[in-house]
Structure 1
Amino acid sequence: MEISRRTALIGLAAAAPLVMSMMEPETASAATSQQAPPADVLAVQRWLNATFGGRDGWVAVAEDGVAGQGTLTGLVQGLQALLGIAPLVPAFGPTTLQRLQQHGEVGSESGADAQAWRQLVQGALICRGFSGVALSGVWDDTTMQAVDGLRRALGSPTSGATLSPNLTRALLTVTSISLAEDGRQEIVPVQQWLNGQHAELPGATYCSVGGVYDSSTLMSIVRAVQLGTGQDPAAADGIYGPATARALKATDASTVAIGVQGSWVRLAKGLLILGGSLVPFDDTFSAGDADVLTSFQQFQALAPEDQTGVCRFPTWAALLVSYGDADRAVSGADLAHRLDAGGAQALAAAGYTTIGRYLTNSSVSGALDKRITRDEVSAIAGAQLRVWPIFEEGGDELSWFNRAQGALDARSAVDTARALGVPKQTTIYFAVDLDVTPDDITTSITPYFEGVAQGLSDTGDTYKAGVYGSRLVCSRISGASLAHFSFVAGMSSGWGGNETEPLPGNWAFNQIQARQVTSAGQAFDIDANVLSGRDGGIGPEEWD
C-alpha cells in the first residue's frame, strides 16, 4: 500500500504538539459532543500533569482549559502509564493496544490505581463534552450515563458498566463522536452501522462518526467487505488490494440487485452515500436504488454490461478504490515511450484508440526523452490514434508549483503545441504528479494554475488548461474554474487525495494500471486509462 504524503504529514505541523511515530501511529484527535466547560477541562489538564508528569517521555499538557489535541494526547499517555508502558509516547498504537487488550475491561479495576483508571475515563468524557461528569474517580450514575451516550454516538454493540479495550481506544482516539462542521448527516448512520457490526471484532477499530468520509471510515468499510468474503476477522486489515479483489470477485453473495436484502445491500448503499449519492440507508435494494447505482456506473464509464443497476465486482471495485477494476478493458493509454509506426500500430491492435503524450521533457539533467515529435505525430495519425497532450517538466516536486512557474509552463506548452501543429482549443493537461495536502493545494497548486491561466491568456487563449493529479487536486482546481477537464491519477490509490474522494465531475481520463504493449518483439510501458468521452483528443486529420 502506498503511504500518502497527507497521511505522513498528520501531526507534524509546527503548531501541533503531537509527533507521529511509526511504532505508535494513531494520534489522539480532539472532538466533542458539545463544548466542554473550560473549568472542567482545566481540572483534567492539571490532574494529568500532576499524576503522570514525572514519567519518562511525558509531554506536558497545556493548562489552558481547551479540550484540544494536546489534552487527548495527555490522556493517551496517562493510559500508557497505567498500563506500565515506558517510555511514554504521544500516540496510541500497537504497543498501547496490546497492553490494553491484556488489561481487559476498563472500569472494573481494583487496587491502588483503580481510582486513576476511572478518573482517566472521566477526564476523556469531560473533554469529549459529556456534561455533568466529575473527575471524582467514582463510577457514578452520571459517568455511566456518559459512557452509554458514547456508545450510542458511536453505534457501539457493547453494554454494561465497563468499557471494552476497543471502546476505550475510541474514546481517546476517534476523530469525531458528533457531527463535524464539514460532516454530512446522512453519513453518520453508515459509520454507526459499521461500528455496530464490526468494531468489537479482533483487529478492528471504531471509525469516526462525524459524517466525514475519512480514512477510518474507508478502512472500516473495506474490512466489512473482507469479512463478507469470508476472511478471518484477525486478518481483515481494511486495506483494499489484490487479495481482497480476488475474494470479492469470487463471492456470489456480493451481487446486489433489485429485491436483494442483507448486509451486502447495506455496504453497497453505504458506499453510494459516502460517495455523495442520496439513497436510504437500509438493507433492501429497491428500483430507486438501482437507478442511482446505474447513474454511478454510467458516470464511472463502466462497460455497458455493467451499467444495469446491479452491483457486481466491477461496480464494487469502482465504489471502493480509485482505480476500480484495474484489469478491465480500456481504450486509453498514456506513455513516455516515443512511438514509431510499428509501436503506434501495436497500440491500435491492442484496442487503444486515444493516447496521452508529453509535449516536452522534464527540466532536469539526464531526463528521459519523452517528448512527442512531428515524425511521431505522423506515425500516430497513420495508426488512426487520437492524442491528448500532457505537460510535465517538474510537476513531481511541490517546490515547482507557484504562480510564476505556472505562467512560464503555459508559455512553453503553447510554443511547443504550436510547433507540433496541435489544433486550437485543445486541452493541455498540466501535471501535479505527487500527493498533496489541501493546504498545499491552497498555497502552491492553485497559484500555479492561476499562473497557467495567465500564461494561456497572454498567448491569446489558443489552448485550454487541463489538470493531471489526484481526485482532490483535480476537483479543487476544476472547482476554481482553472481546468477545463481532469486527467485523474487513479492508479495511485494510496495517495490521500484519492482515498476517499469522488471522481471529479469533469474527468476525461482515469489512469488505472501500468501495462505493457509489444512491438517488433520489444515491450514498452503504458498506463491504461478509462475514457469518459469528455475529451476526444486530437484526431488523425486534425493536426495543423
Structure 2
Amino acid sequence: MADEMVQRAQRFINVTYGNGATLGISKLEENGRTGWTVMYALTRALQYEMGISSLSNSFGPGTLAALGEKYGKVDETTVPSANFCRIIQSALYCKGYDGGDIDGTYNSRVKASVAQLNANMGVSGTYPGTSLWPKVIKGLFNMDAYVTVNDGSDVVRSIQQWLNGRYVLRKDYYVIPCDGHHSRDVAKSMLLAIQYELGMADGVANGAFGPGTQAGLKSHTLSTGASGVWVQLFTAAMVLNKRPVSFSATYTSALASSVSTFQSFMKLAANGQADFPTWSSLLVSYGDQSRQGGACDGVTKITPARAQALKAAGYSIVGRYLYNPSTTDLPEKEIQPGELETIKAAGLRCFPIYQTWARSVDYYSVAQGVTDCMNAAFKAEEHGFKPGARIYFAVDYDAVNDEVTSHILPYFKSVRDTMVRLGSPYKIGVYGPRNACSRVSAQGYAETSFVSDMSSGFSGNLGYAMPENWAFDQIVTKWVGSGDGRIEIDNNIVSGRDPGQGDFYPTPAQKMDTGFDLSLRASLLKEVKDYMASIGKPGGTGRIYTLDECMDTILSHDAAITSASRRYRMRKALIQTTAFWEFCHYSYKDVGEDASVVMYHTGVIPDWGKDLPIVENLVDSSTGVAKISGRTCILSRNNSIRAGLLEGDILDPTSNADRWAMWQKVNQDNVFNLSTVPHLHIWAADGKQGDHAETPIRRPALDYTDAEVFQVLRRYQGWGDLAEAHAQERMPLYAIFEKFNRVVRGG
C-alpha cells in the first residue's frame, strides 16, 4: 500500500539530488512504498551531506566512523543542515515512524520517534533521551524491523532487545533486528555475546566459533541452580532453537528437563546440563565436530578394505551417489559395480543420494524434477536398491528463503509427483541446509532430511533450528583408516529415522528395460493391431475401448511400467502384455459388475451405472486397466510384503472392508493398478497362496524362458483349458512388445 509520507520522501530525494544523478543512482519511483532501493538512496544522500566523496549503498565502517567523528550524536543541537535532517525524517517514515513534515527541523515529533526507536531497539538504557547515536542511525538506514512482524515471537524479540542493550557499545556489535525472528545476524550476535562474556577484547571477538570460543565454553557448563548472564545466554540459545523454555537468568529443573529433551533430539548425552556439546549444537549448525557419527557419505568407492576401516571406526551406514554425469570428474562418485555387495558383506548399510549439479538456483525447475526423479529411480533399480529405500535429492548450495519458495519447493513437488507416477518405488528425502530441508518436508515432499550442517555459514543454516525429521546430520569431513583402507568421508550423526538398506538385488547380467521411444508407437500399434485381427480380436463389439485407446493408455503409463519392471527384475513386456490384453477385453459386462460392487458397498448405484440393464449386489469384481479384483490385489501384495519386496500392511482378503478399499484403488488409480501387475506375476510364480494352489516356479526374471512366460501369463487368468488357450494367444503379443523393448534397450 502506498504511504503518502514515503512518497514525499522519494520526491525529496528526486528534487534535491537531480533525480538521483548527484547520488549516482536512477530516479526513484515515487510510489509510496519503502524498500532497499529507497534506503540505499537515503544512505547515499546521508554520505553526500557528510562530504563523503565515494558514495555507496553500504552503510559501512567509513560512514559509521564519519558520523561519530563529525557529530558524536545527532539531535537538534548537532544536526548539520536542513537536508541532513530531512534525510533522517525520511528514513523514519520509511521505518514506520513519524518523521514530522520532512521540513528539516529536529522537532518534538522527530524526538518522540527517536525515543520510540531506541526503546524498540532495546538501547534506550544505553542511549537515553532523544538523540540519534551512530549505531542507531545505521540501524535506521536498513530494512530491519524493530517490532514483531510476520507472526514473530515476543520472547525472541525480548532476546534481541536484550542483546542490543547489553552489547551495543562493543566495537564490532551492531544493532540487530527486533522482529521476533531468529536470523543470520542474531546468530552471529549470539556468538559475539558469548565471546564478550568470555572476556575477549574488541578486535578479538569476531563472531566465529573458533578455538578460543570453544575452549571458553568448555569451562562454562551449567546445571540446575545456576544463575546469571550465562544462563541468560543459554536460555536465549534454547529459545532461538525453538525449544519451549523461558528466557531466564535461572537454571531451573524445568529447564534441565527441556535440555534433556533437546539433547535426545540431537543425539547428545541427555544429562540436562548446558555442557559443551549442547552449547555447540545451539550456537552453530555443525555443533561439536569431535562427535563420532554412525553414518558417513562420500564420493569414493567402498572397497573391502575401506568397508572394514569404516566399520572399525564405528560407522554402520554409508551414503553413496546413484549417478555421476561426468566421465572424468570424481570417477568413483557413482556406486561402482559390486560395491553394494561389498557393503552388505561387511555388515554395513547404504542410503542413496542423487545429485548431478544442483549448486545454483537455476538448476531447479519442475521439468528438472521430472528428469531427476526418473533418472534416480531407474539408477536405484539398476544398482539394486529394493523398494522402500529413501533417495536423498540434493540442494547443495545456500538457497535463500525466497529461492526455496520460487524454485526448490516446485522442484521437490515435481519429484514427489513423478515418484507417484512411477508407482512410488522409493521414498524421498532432501539433502540441504536446514531451512530448505524443513520447508520441503513441511510441504510433504520429503519424509526425512539429510542436513548439510557442515556448511555453517549458509544463510539456510544460520538462524534456523534443526529439522524435526532429520535422519543424518553432516558435521565434518575427515579421514578414516590407513593403507588400502584409507578413505575421506563426511561424518554424519544418525537419528535412527533412516536405517538405510542392508540387502540389495544382485546386478543383472542382462540389460534392463528402459523408457519407450514414442517414435516407435505407430509401428508397435500396427503390429499389435494386425496380430489382434489375425486372432479375431480387433476390438469393437461389446468392448469399451478401442485398440488405439488401450495402447495409448499403456504407453501413457510407460514410466510406471518401466520402473516396476526394473524394480522387480522382470521383462517390461510381461506387464505390458497382461495389462493391454485385459484392457482390450474390458466390456459393458465389466462396467455393470463394477457398478454392482459400488452399490454393494455404498448402497447407491453410481451415475455411470444407472442406465445399465443389470446392476445387483456384488462384493468384488475384476476392474481397472489390468482387471484386478480387490481380493487378488490383496493376496498378491500380501505375498510381496511377506517376501520383503514391498512395504505395507498385511490385509485380510476375506474382509469386505479391505477388499472394498483395495478395489477402489485398482478401479480409480491406473498407476496403482499397473504397479500391482508385477506382484500378481510374482504371486503366481510363488504358487498363488490363498487361491487355486499352483506348483511354485522361478519368479519372473530378465532371462525368463518362453515356457516360464507362458506359465505366468496363464496363471494371471487362472487355470483350465480357457486360461491355457488365452495364454497361447498372448504369447505372440508378448513377443511383439519384447521386440520393441529390445530395440529401445539395445539388446
Cα distance in 2 for partners of 1:111, 1:267 equals: 37
Q: Is the CA contact 1:429–1:467 (under 8 Å) kept in the aligned structure 2?
A: yes
**Structure 1 residue identity aligned to 2:324:** N
Q: Secondary structure at the match of 2:306?
A: helix
Give the helix-richer structure, 1 or 2: 2
Which residue is equivalent to 1:337? 300
Q: Any stretches of 5+ residues in structure 2 without a counterpart?
A: 507-644, 646-747
2:243 partner amino acid:
S
Does the 8 Å CA contact 1:59/1:74 hold for their aligned counterparts? no
- Say if 1:380 and 1:132 are closer, same or farther in 2 by CA, change over 3 A: closer
Partner of 1:39: 4
Question: How many angstroms does 1:72 deviate by?
Answer: 2.5
User: C-alpha deviations, 1:399-442, integer Å up to 9, x for none?
Assistant: 33223332232233223323333222111112221221233223
Against the structure 1 CA distance between its residues 427 and 143, is the aligned structure 2 distance closer, same or farther, given a 3 Å change threshold? same
Q: Give the counterpart of 2:424 among 458, 461, 483.
A: 461
Relative distance call for 1:144 and 1:298 in structure 2 (3 A) is: same
The alignment partner of 1:472 has SS state of: helix
Which residues in structure 2 correspond to 1:362-381 (within 5 Å)? 362-363=325-326, 366-381=329-344
Cα offsets for 1:130-173 (capped at 9, x unmatched): 23733343333332222111111010021134222111211222
Give me the whole-angstrom Cα distance separating, in 1, the residues matched to 2:8 and 2:377: 63
- The residue type equivalent to 2:8 in the other structure is A
Q: Deviations over 1:435-481 (max 9, x none)?
A: 21233223332232233223322332221111111111111111111
Counterpart selection for 2:141 from 155, 172, 188: 172
1:125 pairs with 2:104: no
Number of the residue aligned with 1:24: none
The alpha carbon displacement at 1:340 in A equals 1.3
Aligned positions of 1:228-307 closer than 5 A: 228-249=197-218, 252=219, 254-302=220-268, 304=269, 307=270
Q: Which amino acid aligns with 1:190?
A: I
In the alignment, the residues of structure 2 paired with residue 371 and residue 67 of structure 1 have an alpha-carbon distance, to the nearest angstrom, of 50
Mark the CA change 1:391 to 1:71 in structure 2 (over 3 Å): closer, same or farther: closer
**Relative to 1, partners in 2 of residues 1:172 and 1:540: Cα closer, same or farther, differing over 3 Å?**
same
Query: Is 2:305–2:484's contact at 8 Å kept on the other side of the alignment?
Result: no
Amino acid paired to 2:155: E
**CA drift at 1:346:** 0.6
Deviation at 1:121, TM superposition (A): 2.6
Query: Does structure 1 retain, via aligned residues, the 8 Å contact 2:76–2:107?
Result: no
Q: 1:227 to 1:542 in 2, by over 3 A?
A: farther
Q: Cα deviation per residue 1:274-294 (whole Å; 9 max; x = unaligned)? A: 122222222112111111121
Q: Is the contact between residue 203 and residue 235 of structure 1 (CA under 8 Å) also seen in structure 2?
A: no
User: Which SS does the other structure have where 2:358 is aligned?
Assistant: coil
Deviations 1:81-105 (A, max 9, x none): 1221113222311221222232242
Q: Which secondary structure state, in structure 2, belongs to the residue aligned with residue 270 of structure 1?
A: helix
Cα pair distance change 1:150/1:111, threshold 3 Å: closer
Q: 1:63 to 1:423 in 2, by over 3 A?
A: closer
* Structure 1 vs Structure 2 CA RMSD: 2.5
Which is further off, 361-370 or 197-206? 361-370
Corresponding position of 2:471 = 508
AA matched with 1:402: S
For the 8 Å contact 1:174–1:206, the answer to whether it is kept is no
Structure 1 moving runs of 4+ over 6 Å: 109-112, 541-544
Which segment drifts farther, 240-249 or 370-379?
Answer: 240-249
> Is 2:306–2:485's contact at 8 Å kept on the other side of the alignment?
no
- 1:75–1:408 CA distance, 2 compared to 1 (3 A): closer
Contact 2:79 2:85 in 1 (8 A): no
- Which residue of structure 2 aligns with residue 15 of structure 1? none
Work out which of the residue numbers 365, 368, 390 in structure 2 matches 1:402. 365
Report the equivalent of 2:154: 185
Q: Read off the aligned partner of 1:137 and give its amino acid letter.
A: G
Separation of aligned partners in 2, 1:158 and 1:216: 21
Instruction: Tell me, in whole angstroms, the C-alpha distance in 2 between the residues paired with 1:245 and 1:395.
Output: 33
1:90 equivalent to 2:53? Answer no
Write the letter of the residue equivalent to 1:40.
M
Distance in structure 1 (CA, Å) of the matches to 2:76 and 2:109? 19
Partner AA of 1:193 in structure 2: W
Q: 2:23 touches 2:44 (CA, 8 Å); kept in 1?
A: no
Q: 1:229-254: CA deviations, max 9, x gaps?
A: 221133322233444333333xx2x3
In structure 2, what is the Cα distance between the partners aligned to 1:385 and 1:59? Answer: 62
CA distance in 1, matches of 2:212, 2:327: 39
Q: What displacement does 1:55 show?
A: 3.1
1:57, 1:87 within 8 Å by CA — same for their partners in 2? no
Alpha-carbon distance in structure 1 between the residues aligned to 2:499 and 2:441 = 18
Counterpart of 2:31?
64
Could you say which residue in structure 1 is the equivalent of 2:82?
A: 115
Aligned to 2:609: none
Q: Does 1:433 align with 2:396?
A: yes
| 1:257–1:311 CA contact under 8 A, matched in 2 | yes
| The 10-residue stretch of structure 1 (473-482 or 397-406) with the greater mean CA deviation from structure 2 | 397-406
Question: In structure 1, the residue corresponding to 2:450 is in which secondary structure?
Answer: strand
3-state SS of 1:498 partner: coil
The percent of aligned pairs where both chains have the same amino acid is: 34
Give 1:225's match in structure 2, choosing from 171, 174, 194: 194
TM-score for the superposition, normalised by structure 2: 0.63
Q: What corresponds to 2:532 in structure 1?
A: none
Task: Return the match for 1:149 from 110, 116, 130.
Answer: 116
Q: Secondary structure at the match of 2:104?
A: coil
8 Å Cα contact 2:385/2:504 also seen in 1: no
Deviates more, 1:197-206 or 1:453-462: 453-462
Structure-2 separation of matches of 1:41 and 1:502: 36
What secondary structure is seen at the aligned counterpart in 2 of 1:525?
strand
Counterpart contact for 1:105–1:163, Cα < 8 Å = no
1:510–1:531 Cα contact (<8 Å) kept: yes
Indicate the residue corresponding to 2:173 in structure 1. Answer: 204
Return the offset for 1:111. 8.5
State the partner residue of 1:412. 375
Cα 1:200–1:347 change in 2 (3 A) is same
Question: Take 1:376 and 1:224, find their aligned partners in 2: how far apart are those partners?
Answer: 49
- Equivalent pairs counted in the alignment come to 503
1:355–1:62 Cα change, 3 Å: same
Shift of 1:510: 0.7
Change (3 A) 1:445 1:112: closer
1:7 is matched with none
Maintained 8 Å contact 2:306/2:486: no
Q: Structure 2: how far apart are the matches of 1:418 and 1:494?
A: 36
SS at match of 1:430: strand
More off after superposition, 403-412 vs 176-185: 403-412
Tell me, in whole angstroms, the C-alpha distance in 2 between the residues paired with 1:449 and 1:163.
48
**CA distance in 2 between partners of 1:88 and 1:168 (Å):** 17
For the residue of structure 1 that corresponds to 2:93, the secondary structure is helix
Are 2:38 and 1:75 equivalent residues in the alignment?
no
Task: Say if 1:288 and 1:110 are closer, same or farther in 2 by CA, change over 3 A.
Answer: closer
Q: Which amino acid aligns with 1:285?
A: Y
CA distance in 1, matches of 2:65, 2:33: 30
**Paired residue type of 1:215:** R
The 1:194/1:380 distance shift into structure 2, 3 A limit, reads: same
Measured in 1, the distance between the counterparts of 2:437 and 2:141 equals 35
The range that moved more, 52-61 or 353-362, is 52-61
Deviation at 1:520, TM superposition (A): 2.3
1:355 aligns with 2:318: yes
Tell me the residue number matched to 1:3: none
